[in-house]
Chain A
């Protein structure tokens, strides 16, 4: 069995009264791993601990078998793409990469060659000579990823790489992340607050919530954990009374409740996939008119509430 590339044991980090990570335990294996959690869950704090920008108050952290705090040598082994924009608008993409290369002790023709290579990898060859200020959000993300891979590290840390990008850019960046792993051999840790986006990149995820790693492993195992808890679905429309009676006969429906004005019903469902499969036929049979249907559990926060029993 391979050794973990990152191992966090009882890791805690607080900023005054605010807790960033709280008794955080997680082993990350080689490959692509998604760190998923709502905003403020502790994902960025975890990344900052990995990169040695902050120091843990309690606990142990090993990154590629080394401690990251006050250990600049380890910085050659990873590349960080932060969740914020740290680019200089008045520089060209090439100038920014040259600066980054210089910080990694790269220079001369070797650096120029590498800049050409990474520009091609991230699909920025044509735009590399342009000012960064004129780049689109997707291009800015690409140039950040180019900086991340410039010194050819074994581990890439991508913090919310899809944030703020349009659907086309998202697809391109997801494809790029796949390619960086499969074709270039980088291990990748990618964070996001959107579960389905991470699911498109990897099946190995760790769920982070309120400073703790609440679950980790293959996404099917986590989905199994989630499916043990009832999902809340609201249905609005006409003829809901008959529909509610029908629901009560179904074994995977836990409860049905009406709103005060009887215009909607609140259904708790154990198997949401089966429910959504069966619903069109049931509605057709009952001859009711549904105007709106929405799940209260679409957001990740609800998933975490289930997992931590909050």
Chain B
């Protein structure tokens, strides 16, 4: 447990203060600008705010940010060979992998909650913060934490076998989640965000997400937990037998 904690402390700090943090800052500025501008327009306050936070943050940027951090956390250490220290320690590789996963979830959750907060303040700070607005805010925060847990398991797995995991990550984030996840009918059920939005539709009663063709909160939660465990298990199995020449 001490060894896993050491990885969590080290990797979380490394992710949050890496150069990739600049991307998060730029995204936050972009969201502040878009939602800040939207707040000045003649829009219905609660539905518009919920739609922006759903479409812009949960729907579009969350998979991208998860991919940027998740696809690089282990891969960067393999490339710069700093992973040697972990691989030659007596820490079982299962716990080492879990250490990376937990640090990725923590970092991603912090970044996502900060971005959600920036978006929320930019929009509702101008249009008025009340209990309904706060309800949307807290729901999106929790959804982004759930998304961080699921996407982290996926992108951490992708980063192991591929030397350029960003390409596959980009394909997934834009084509799979962005395109297939937007199609009508049941085909959208193959995208992670369908289940995140399904949970959101139960929690948020404003905007398009409230009327989303959902799969049901219990079923969606089970699917998300299931695929997270599945991706983690595959990642652990692969990491345990992977050679590091």
Contact = CB atoms under 8 A, between A and B. Distances in A.
Interface of A: 15, 20, 45, 48, 51-55, 70, 72-76, 78, 80, 82, 84, 86-88, 99-107, 147
A50 to B, nearest CB: 10
A82 B84 contact: yes
Contacts of A76: 90
Contacts of A80: 84, 88
B222 interface: no
B92 A72 contact: yes
Most buried by B among A48, A84, A103: A103
Interface stretch (B49-57, B107-115, B206-214, B237-245): B237-245
Nearest to B82: A86
Tell me the interface secondary structure of chain B in the complex: helix
Contact of B81 (A52, A75, A82): A82
A103 B86 contact: yes
Contacts of B240: 70
Contacts of A104: 3, 89-90
B245 A103 contact: no
Given A82-B81, A107-B2, A75 B89 contact: yes
Contacts of B6: 99, 101-103
B88 A51 contact: yes
Given A102-B6, A103-B7, A53 B85 contact: no
A103 B81 contact: no
Contacts of B85: 86, 99-100, 103, 147
B234 to A, nearest CB: 17
A73 B87 contact: no
Q: Sort A-B residue pairs by CB-CB distance and give the 8 closest, nearest first.
A: A102-B6, A103-B89, A75-B90, A54-B243, A76-B90, A105-B2, A53-B244, A86-B82
A47 to B, nearest CB: 10
B243 A55 contact: yes
Contacts of B245: 15, 20, 45, 48, 53-54
B83 to A, nearest CB: 8
B80 A86 contact: yes
Given A53-B245, A55-B243, A80-B84, A106 B89 contact: no
B189 to A, nearest CB: 38
B91 A103 contact: yes
A82 B88 CA distance: 11
B81 A84 contact: yes
B27 interface: no
Contact of B91 (A72, A78, A84, A107): A72
Contacts of B5: 102
Contacts of B82: 86-88
Interface in B207-245: 240-241, 243-245
Interface string B23-65: 0000000000000000000000000000000000000000000
